[in-house]
Amino acid sequence: MYEEISKILKKENLTKDDLMFLLSADDKAVQLIFDKAAEVKTQYVGNYTYFRGLIELSNICSKNCLYCGIRSGNKNVQRYSATDEEALKAVKYALDRNWGSVVIQAGERQDPKFIDRLENLLKQISSISPEKTGVTLSLGEQNLEVYTRWLNAGATRYLIRIETSNEDLFYKIHPRDELHNFEKRIQALRDLRKAGYMTGTGVMIGLPFQTMEDLADDLLFMQEYDIDMCGMGPYIEHEDTPLYQYKDQLLPLEERYKLTLKMIALLRILMKDVNIASVTALQAVNPDGREEGIRYGANVIMPNITPVKYHESYNLYKGKPEIVPETDKYISQLEKQINESGDKVGYEERGDPIHFKNRKK
């Protein structure tokens, strides 16, 4: 296995078979992949980790994805919407610490009240932020006009996960109706690019019914759509969701975690200069999960700066880490670990994806 992996890693272009083989690397051989990803990261994006302050603005969602703890059908959730004041305070927290970017994430809503409110909030954020501050949105599917309004109001990046590139699997993890449509999800990526955003996507890893072939296809999908950013993480079951019934068919959580690290490393090798987030779901499995992701190719961490009183209600999956520790003391500790992993924190920089800049040239 060792020789075969070394041989594949020397190739210019990786095929689906190559990726499937690499995804099946055992614990010993996987180090070769991790070493290669670290080398590519150093060469193409440098040893920097960028902090993005994550604001979970609201858990009100019109959708009913079968895996998600805040799906509209879950009546055990206390719904909230943080106020503009609270959101701006969180933005200020990030700015005061010289983080170059914030991320606004929420359940999906397409009603005019929400769209107007977001536009207004983005304008307020722009008015208190230096020009170079990056604002990423993760607010689900909207139309081109809405994307453009939010871009003009100050957003620069948009992250929308396709969740899986396999259409059959997509309909096993979503209701089959107007609101949950595979083609529309992919169209969103095209519209975001057209509107002018730095565009990101991602998938969940270790979903029920998902195969190694699906994951290899996911990587090739991201390459084909020439994405600028990626946030992918392990699927973690939530007991108040329909998908929970398949919990006994899942890979052990530790395996889903390892597969996620492999996917991060392989995407770095495949797409070289994109931004890759080391997501909170990794931390939910292993307290040092986000730092591990950074060592194996990721270059973005999103410390959660949502007001603490809302944390419990933004429960996407079981065992979401207690986020209270994202205090100054905790952030210093995180920075220390990032430094130990060989990276510096990119303060006062937006840390835009080099891939996006290179495409513009």
Q: Quick one: 36 or 256, whose CB is closer to ligand SAM?
A: 256
Give the count of residues interacting with ligand SAM (CB under 6 A). Answer: 19
Identify the residue among 53, 100, 107, 200 touching ligand SF4 (CB under 6 A): 107
Residue 147 or residue 317: which is nearer to ligand SAM going by CB?
A: 317
Is residue 204 involved in binding ligand SAM (CB under 6 A)? yes
**Residues of span 275-334 touching ligand SAM by CB under 6 A:** 281, 316-317
Q: Which of 34, 51, 67, 221 binds ligand SAM (CB under 6 A)?
A: 67
Stretch of 14-22, 101-109, 169-177, 265-273 lying at the interface with ligand SAM (CB under 6 A): 101-109
Q: Taking CB under 6 A as the rule, does residue 108 contact ligand SF4?
A: yes
Among 138, 142, 278, 299, binds ligand SAM (CB under 6 A): 138
351 binds, among ligand SAM, ligand SF4, none (CB under 5 to 8 A by kind): none
Residue 236 lies near ligand SAM (rule: CB under 6 A): yes
Question: In this chain, which of 53, 100, 134, 140 binds ligand SF4, going by CB under 6 A?
Answer: 140
As a three-state string, the secondary structure of the chain is CHHHHHHHHCCCCCCHHHHHHHHCCCCCCHHHHHHHHHHHHHHHCCCEEEEEEEEEEECCCCCCCCCCCCCCCCCCCCCCECCHHHHHHHHHHHHHCCCCEEEEEECCCCCHHHHHHHHHHHHHHHHHCCCCCEEEEECCCCCHHHHHHHHHCCCCEEECCCECCCHHHHHHHCCCECCECHHHHHHHHHHHHHHCCEEEECEEECCCCCCHHHHHHHHHHHHHCCCCEEECEECCCCCCCHHHHHHHHCCCHHHHHHHHHHHHHHHHHHHCCCEEEECHHHHHHCCCHHHHHHHCCCCEECCECCCHHHHCCCCCCCCCCCCCCCCHHHHHHHHHHHHHCCCEECCCCCCCCHHHHHHHC
Q: State which of positions 141-200 bind ligand SAM (CB under 6 A).
A: 160-161, 163
Q: Closest approach of Cβ 257 to ligand SAM, in Å?
A: 12
56 scored as a contact of ligand SF4 (CB under 6 A): no
Nearer to ligand SF4, 141 or 352 (CB): 141
Chain residues that interact with ligand SAM, rule: CB under 6 A? 61, 67-68, 105, 107-108, 138, 140, 160-161, 163, 204, 233, 235-236, 238, 281, 316-317
